[in-house]
Structure 1
Amino acid sequence: MTVAVGVDVYADRAEADAYFAVRGVTAWSDADEAARDAALVRATGWLEGHYRWVGRLVDPSQPLAWPRAGARDSEGRVVDGIPDRVKAACAELALIALTQDLAPPLERGGRVLSERVGSVEISYAAEAPAGRSFPAVDALLRGLTRPTENGVPVRRA
């Protein structure tokens, strides 16, 4: 499988290899090339489905959300191409995707309404969000996502 930056992934294998090499993360290089490419594709898909980005598409027909026109980071700097922080977030998620499902099916998660220890019973609030979050990825992407009224990045559930 051949993957292309900007078409299939935000970071290619060589970029992810370099990212993890400088950090001494051997779990990445221990995986075979096909597994690393597939993990990068899954990570990119997760990013595409979970964030609303600053700016707007450069070309309405482009397959991924980046690059963006009119995008500025939290310091007001113009962001061209695919930002290094988006590539880093993609690599971080790809590392997880090598061994785990990024979005496993969940019945419910979030706010617990009631709990019973004997015969284990848990009830969740109707608006309780389901899904996983990755705080390190959220931190990498701070300033590249659209904030809500209270300043919290908008993530799609």
Structure 2
Amino acid sequence: MPLTLDATVGGASANTYITLTAAETYFESRLDITAWDAATDDDKNRALATATRLLDSMYVWANFAVDSTQRLHWPRVFMLDAKRRDTILSTVIPEELGFAAAELANTLLVSDRTLDSDIETQGLTKLVAGSVELEFKDSVFAKIISDLVVNFIPTHWGYLTGQGGFGSVELQRA
């Protein structure tokens, strides 16, 4: 069954921070969107909804949700815009958050970043075929949210957890 996106700001059934139309407009000025262009509208919708869920589950957002009945973590109260000049109205989702969701959706269409990477989880740093030699890192983490996505979100809006940043714990090889 096709997924219907709901981008209602503060909505009880909202499932995305950006509409498909807005994401398409954003990608019109973006290079290297082969996966996005090749995807069906339903796959794009699913990627946008998944990206929004990942952002909400992996970020600890500053301040508080506007309403206890809203499904998503945004909108939030007393939030400053990206330039720290103005307060973000509780009736809008910041453009940067929508762009971050679109970029994460695009990376999810390229490959499912939520799956464990064998190389990262095992920490393989070197493999030599002659006389077989393997080398592993002492600690590893899987990076679900790319640096490009992180760069859209101002640090004063919150912080990312669970991928080697503040608030996460690295795995230690025994």
Identical-residue share of aligned pairs (%):
24
**Residue identity matched to 2:86:** R
Contact 1:39 1:94 in 2 (8 A): yes
CA distance in 2, matches of 1:3, 1:83: 18
CA distance in 1, matches of 2:134, 2:42: 42
**Residue identity matched to 2:76:** R
Contact 1:104 1:131 in 2 (8 A): no
Structure 1: gaps (5+ residues): 147-153
Matched, 1:156 2:161: yes
Residue 107 of structure 2 corresponds to 96
**Residue identity matched to 2:43:** A
Which whole-Å deviations, capped at 9, do the CAs of 1:109-131 have from their partners, x for residues lacking one?
49x7x9674534344435x4333
- Equivalent residue in structure 1 for 2:61, among 21, 31, 53: 53
Report the 3-state secondary structure (helix = DSSP H, G, I; strand = E; otherwise coil) of the residue aligned with 1:23. Answer: coil
**Residue identity matched to 1:92:** E
4+ long deviations beyond 6 Å:
none
Matched, 1:16 2:23: yes
TM-score, normalised to structure 2, is 0.71
Q: How many residues are paired up?
A: 148
Report the 3-state secondary structure (helix = DSSP H, G, I; strand = E; otherwise coil) of the residue aligned with 1:69. Answer: coil
Alignment of 1:61-140 (within 5 A): 61-73=69-81, 74-80=83-89, 81-106=92-117, 109=120, 117=128, 119-125=132-138, 128-140=140-152
What is the Cα deviation at residue 100 of structure 1?
Answer: 0.6
Residue 142 of structure 1 corresponds to 154
Residue 150 of structure 1 corresponds to none
Contact 2:33 2:106 in 1 (8 A): no
CA distance in 2, matches of 1:39, 1:93: 8
Matched, 1:43 2:51: yes
Once the two structures are overlaid, the 10-residue window that deviates more, 98-107 or 10-19, is: 98-107
Contact 2:104 2:145 in 1 (8 A): no
Residue 4 of structure 1 corresponds to 6
TM-score, normalised to structure 1, is 0.78
**Residue identity matched to 1:2:** T
Contact 1:56 1:71 in 2 (8 A): no
Q: 1:120 to 1:103 in 2, by over 3 A?
A: farther
